Amino acid sequence: MTTFYAGMDELERFIREHPGCTYIELMVPDMSGQLRGKRLSPKAARKLFGEDAEGVRLPGSNYLLDATGRNIDGLEYGGADGDPDFFCHAVPGSLAPVPWAAESAGQVLASMADAAGRPHFADPRHVLACVMDRLDKLGLRAVMAIELEFHLIDAKAMREGRIEPARLPLSGRRPGTVNVYGLDDLGEFSALFADIAQTCAAQGLDAETAVSEYGPGQYEINLLHRADALAACDQAVLLKRAIKACALRHGAIATFMAKPFAERAGNGLHVHVSLVDEAGANIFSGQDQDGRIGRAISARMKQAIAGLVATMGEGMAIFAPNANSYRRLRPGTYAPVSAIWGGDNRTLPIRIPGGDDADTRIEHRVAGADASPYLVAAAVLAGIHHGLVHELEPPAPVAGDGYEQGGAPLPLFWPEALKAFAGGGILGGYFDAEWRRAYLAARWQELQEHHFTIPQLDYDWYLTTA
- At 179, which CATH number? 3.30.590.10
Tell me, yes or no, whether 255 lies in a domain: yes
* 103 and 152 housed in the same domain: no
* 198 and 319 housed in the same domain: yes
* 344 and 302 housed in the same domain: yes
Tell me, yes or no, whether 113 lies in a domain: yes
* 116 and 141 housed in the same domain: no
pLDDT score at 110: 96
Tell me, yes or no, whether 463 lies in a domain: no
pLDDT score at 188: 84
- Please determine, for residue 289, whether its predicted confidence score (pLDDT) is greater than 80: no
* 52 and 197 housed in the same domain: no
Residue pLDDT, tens place only, 163-175: 999 898 888 888 7
* 381 and 408 housed in the same domain: yes
* 224 and 269 housed in the same domain: yes
- Residue 226 near residue 145, CB atoms below 8 Å: yes
Average pLDDT over residues 308-312: 97
Q: CATH number, domain at 103?
A: 3.10.20.70
The structural domain count of the chain equals: 2
Domain boundary among the residues 69, 89, 121 is at: 121
Domain boundary among the residues 97, 121, 145 is at: 121
Domain boundary among the residues 90, 121, 152 is at: 121
C-alpha span between 312 and 339 (Å, rounded): 6
- Residue 146 near residue 229, CB atoms below 8 Å: no
Radius of gyration of the chain (CA): 22
> For residues 181, 244, 234 and 42, what is the CA-based torsion angle, rounded to 10 degrees?
150
- Please provide the average confidence, as pLDDT, over all residues in the chain: 92
Tell me, yes or no, whether 222 lies in a domain: yes
Tell me, yes or no, whether 400 lies in a domain: yes
Average pLDDT over residues 384-393: 98
* 146 and 15 housed in the same domain: no
Prediction pTM value: 0.95
Lowest model confidence (mean pLDDT) among 130-134, 213-217, 259-263, 294-298: 213-217
* 207 and 323 housed in the same domain: yes
- Please determine, for residue 181, whether its predicted confidence score (pLDDT) is greater than 90: no
With cut-offs at 50, 70 and 90, classify the pLDDT of residue 77. Answer: confident
With cut-offs at 50, 70 and 90, classify the pLDDT of residue 180. Answer: low
With cut-offs at 50, 70 and 90, classify the pLDDT of residue 292. Answer: confident
End-to-end CA distance of the chain: 57
Tell me, yes or no, whether 452 lies in a domain: no
* 305 and 238 housed in the same domain: yes
- Please determine, for residue 60, whether its predicted confidence score (pLDDT) is greater than 90: yes
* 366 and 295 housed in the same domain: yes
Task: List the one residue out of 410, 416, 414 whose CA is nearest residue 327.
Answer: 414
Average pLDDT over residues 9-25: 96
Residue 342 belongs to domain spanning: 135-431
Tell me, yes or no, whether 406 lies in a domain: yes
pLDDT score at 2: 45
- Please determine, for residue 140, whether its predicted confidence score (pLDDT) is greater than 70: yes
Tell me, yes or no, whether 459 lies in a domain: no
* 116 and 145 housed in the same domain: no
